Structure 1
């Protein structure tokens, strides 16, 4: 079953962190971004393309109800779960076709019921409208955009403030954080081997023990040996081995 991309919107950092923590036991729920205001929420919705948005109601300048109205025009409209300390907005919230309405402090049982409701709704949508995965990875080069086949990317790494994409014939650079690139490559066979490195599993041909529990990884078509952090070795082997 596919992951469910989650965007958390709340002007209080503690509330965002609490909800993100409470979502961790639900394996399909992947928090792809956070926003601290209504304006940030719209930008983040465009950037991360979430399946569901947990949305606070009471926020300065642009409140959650205004955000819900604004995102209806997006190409991909996320399901909305309002998360607020105020029960008085429930009627108006459901006028925005909210999937659910959670009250703070969050109750874990109620959150579990909300997750079930989200999964059921998204599964119905998927059954009727199968998701088409984009086939190209876009990289801005000077004043142009180059479209790469993900299958032609060997590995990706972060150096200083630049993310470098190592292809079979060239190396490309982007200012996008590695986490964002990882999200875009999620439908393909990429795996994080280090806090700064992603690799294409299809190019791996050798793992060699190194030191302190770390391993070295060799890829077809790449001269550089990559370090696999010991925190990722077990999961990497599980991905690779029959």
Structure 2
């Protein structure tokens, strides 16, 4: 990425803000454009600065970090979210906000390095999506044609000659082969994990070792797990982890 990533630190503890700023300034891709000492001030600074990413504490008086992020998700430019807190017990709730990462105090330099890499990749993926076609995937049924935004598709499967296009709330059927849909979705972050599955990488939550080098994959918004063929594991991890 050519442009530096603009970051805003929101934490009511001055020492934590100073420590995080110091660590972030070691990364050339990050530019800390501001700080805020409360959720209310953080909201004002987000509106003023429109940062690419916010590093936000959770336990703050009055407006806490979760409440702040809920409001941030309604903004015209939604920043990436990194929670930076002393409390590990909010992690599950945090990732419902599609947070890039969940950092625990005191901050670990290696973990922060990985977080920065994830931020860089997420923004790079967003830029690729913005540069791709703005069209929607047409799914032709018996009575109607449904147009789906690619970023709402969690995964696509092919079973018994029928293609299933899966979103958070619905499953749409299509007669199009998986390979054809894979071609039509080029430019979006879809990846073939199995001869029968095409997954949107933005929804990947966990990789779970299975047996003989294969994995299962867990996705945000879905309860079922999908199989990852061992032939695809190395490239998948490369795409996810950098």
Q: TM-score scaled to structure 2, two decimals?
A: 0.53
Partner of 1:90 in structure 2? 91
Displacement after TM superposition at 1:2 (Å) = 1.0
1:127 partner SS: helix
| Correspondence for 1:2 | 3
Could you list the runs of 5+ residues in structure 2 that have no partner in the other structure? 132-242
Q: After TM superposition, give the deviation of residue 103 of structure 1 in Å.
A: 0.2
For structure 1, the 5+ residue unaligned runs are: 131-242
Any idea what SS the aligned residue of 2:61 has?
coil
Once the two structures are TM-superposed, the CA of residue 91 in structure 1 deviates from its matched residue by 0.6
Post-superposition shift, 1:40?
0.6
Match of 1:30 in 2: 31
Q: Superposed, which structure 2 residues align to 1:44-63 within 5 Å?
A: 44-63=45-64
**Partner in structure 1 of residue 77 of structure 2:** 76
- Shift of residue 72, structure 1, vs aligned partner: 1.0
- C-alpha separation in 2, matches of 1:39 and 1:27: 29
CA deviation vs aligned residue, 1:50-77 (integer Å, no higher than 9, x gap): 0000000000011000001011110000
Cα distance per residue 1:23-81 (max 9 Å; x no partner):
11101100001111011111111100100000000000110000010111100000000
Q: Deviations over 1:171-219 (max 9, x none)?
A: xxxxxxxxxxxxxxxxxxxxxxxxxxxxxxxxxxxxxxxxxxxxxxxxx
Task: State the match for 2:13 in structure 1.
Answer: 12
Q: What secondary structure does 1:80 align onto?
A: strand
Per the alignment, residue 21 of structure 1 pairs with: 22
Inter-partner Cα distance in structure 1 for 2:3 and 2:130? 14
Distance in 1 (alpha carbons) for counterparts of 2:60 and 2:99: 17
Per-residue displacement from partner, 1:75-112 (whole Å, max 9, x unpaired)?
Answer: 00000000000000001111111111000000000000
In structure 2, what is the Cα distance between the partners aligned to 1:69 and 1:23?
24
Q: Deviations over 1:111-156 (max 9, x none)?
A: 00000000000011112225xxxxxxxxxxxxxxxxxxxxxxxxxx
- 1:127: which partner in 2? 128
Q: Which residue is 1:41 aligned to?
A: 42
Secondary structure of the structure 1 residue equivalent to 2:3 = coil
Alignment of 1:131-150 (within 5 A): none
Q: C-alpha distance in 2, partners of 1:126/1:17?
A: 30
Aligned residues: 130
Cα distance in 1 for partners of 2:128, 2:94 equals: 27
Correspondence 1:79-228 to 2 at 5 A: 79-129=80-130
> 1 CA distance for matches of 2:38 and 2:26?
26
Q: Find the residue that maps to 2:33 and give its secondary structure.
A: strand
